[in-house]
Amino acid sequence: MVSVERIQVTGSRINRTDIETASPITVISSEFIAQSGYTSVAEILSAQPTAAGMSLGATTNNGSGGTATVNLRGMGAQRTLVLLNGRRMVSSGTGADSAVDLNTIPVAMIKKIEILKDGASAVYGSDAIAGVVNIITKKDFVGTELTIEGSQTDKGDATSKGINILHGVELANGNLVLGLQYSDRGEIIQSDRDFVEPGASSFIPQSSLAGLVADESGGFKSRDTSYDYTVDSYAQTPNELLSFFTAYNASLDSDTELNVDLMYTSRKSNQQLAPQPGT
């Protein structure tokens, strides 16, 4: 007898025609996440080839508020649908810029991540034009798991530390899994990195374009002052995060199952830009 893992279908029940083909899906397992050393969901997704364009994260120094988003195919975070166990997650923020904050999910709770690399607006709506990210959590974990992490750059800055605790118990008719994550990420000042300086060129006599300097947002602008904006601006923003996740599932009868997911997240972040120089 061959045992087959439970197959969960996520999506629509609309009847499909025979000419429709399978959708391209990338699956990231918890084993791969542990081996890669990624400490957040944002780091995991940003390393994927389909994640292109501007996403909010550790290097966003203006407007992120400490949140982290995913941007598939460069179409914007508002066009990438994020699901938790096949259900929509609550967006962080308000208005047109609202998107799911990936920092709210402890990495230890993740069983696997499924990335639909094709548009699925016909099934999920306009917020799935770029694709769908489905984060599946551990529901049948039994035992206790503790992970302690720490990192620092070769220049001695951006010191980061974190701890993940996962605990699961088997109940009479189901399972209860608790996940806790704490992380503290240090900052990097832009002037501490050589790549923020405008490079020289051999194609023009002055070796560089006059008036173009690195600005506080990471781009290049024409300045009529000699003020160095990079001294007071972050290349990586500091962030302190505490996230708690609870998953409870129980079988009520042969045809009915109860699933409850509870999340709590508290984060403190700091964003710093250089002041406007006097004239």
- Encode pLDDT of 117-159 as tens digits: 777 777 777 788 888 899 999 988 999 999 998 888 888 888 8
Average pLDDT of the segment spanning 59-84: 76
Whether residue 18 is predicted with pLDDT greater than 50 in this model: the reply is no
More confident residue, 158 or 53: 158
Q: Give the tokens for residue 163.
A: 């701890």
117 and 66 both lie in a single domain: yes
Tell me how many domains the chain contains: 2
Tokens found for residue 145: 């798991």
Helices (H) then strands (E): counts for the chain:
3, 14
Same domain, 123 and 232: no
- Do 48 and 35 share a structural domain? yes
Of residues 175 and 80, more confidently modeled: 175
Mean pLDDT value across residues 193-217: 58
Give the whole-angstrom CA distance, residue 137 versus residue 132. 16
Query: How far is it, in rounded angstroms, from Cα 99 to Cα 209?
Result: 38
CATH code (residue 34): 2.170.130.10
* Beta-ladder partners of 133: 82, 115
Whether residue 100 is found in the same domain as residue 219: no
Domain for residue 9, yes or no? no
Residue 276 lies in a domain: no
pLDDT on residue 221: 66
Is the pLDDT confidence value at 55 over 70?
Answer: no
What is the pLDDT, as a whole number, of residue 136?
Answer: 92
At residue 175, the pLDDT reads: 93
Question: Is 53 part of any domain?
Answer: yes
DSSP single-letter state for residue 92: B
pLDDT for res 218: 57
DSSP bridge partners of 267: 241
Q: Are 232 and 249 in contact (CB under 8 A)?
A: no
Determine which of 63-67, 163-167, 200-204, 266-270 has the lowest per-residue pLDDT on average.
200-204
More confidently predicted of 50 and 278: 50
Q: Is residue 67 located within the same domain as residue 196?
A: no
The reply to whether 8 falls in a domain is no
Q: What pLDDT is stored for residue 209 in this prediction?
A: 57
Distances in Å between the Cα of 32 and the Cα atoms of 92, 112, 137, 208 are 28, 9, 15, 44
51-55, 189-193, 266-270: range with lowest mean pLDDT: 51-55
- Cα-based distances in Å from 127 to 27, 77, 100, 120, 130: 21, 9, 11, 9, 8
State the pLDDT confidence band at 25, using cuts at 50, 70 and 90: confident
Alpha-carbon distance values, 86 to 81, 119, 132, 173 (Å) = 11, 16, 10, 22
Mean pLDDT across the chain:
78
Q: How far apart are CA 5 and CA 229, in angstroms?
A: 55
Q: Per the domain annotation, does 196 fall within a domain?
A: yes
Residues 6+ apart with CB under 8 A from 267: 66, 103, 239, 240, 241, 242
**Which residue range forms the structural domain that includes residue 30?**
25-187+237-269
Please state the length of the chain. 279
Lowest pLDDT segment from 13-27, 139-153, 161-175, 232-246: 13-27
193 and 182 in a common domain? no
Ranges 78-82, 125-129, 217-221: which has the least confidence: 217-221
Residues 6 or more apart whose CB falls under 8 angstroms from that of 224 comprise: 211
112 pLDDT higher than 80: yes
pLDDT tens string 154-190: 888 888 899 999 999 999 889 999 999 999 988 888 8
E-state strands within 43-199? 80-84, 87-88, 110-116, 131-137, 143-151, 160-170, 174-185, 188-189
Q: What is the pLDDT of residue 250?
A: 92
* Contact assessment for residue 182 and residue 162, using Cβ atoms and an 8 Å cutoff: yes
Which residues pair with residue 83 across a beta bridge? 88, 134
pLDDT the model gives residue 166 = 94
Of the candidates 36, 44, 121, which has an alpha carbon nearest to the alpha carbon of residue 78? 121
Is 244 found in the same domain as 219?
Answer: no
Evaluate whether residue 3 is within a structural domain. no
CB 67 within 8 Å of CB 241: no
Kindly state whether residue 210 falls inside one of the protein's structural domains.
yes
Least confident of 15-19, 109-113, 225-229, 247-251: 15-19
- Judge if 134 and 167 occupy the same domain: yes
Write out the E strands in 10-151. 25-29, 80-84, 87-88, 110-116, 131-137, 143-151
Supply the pLDDT for residue 167.
96
| Structure tokens that stand for 192 in this block | 């501490």
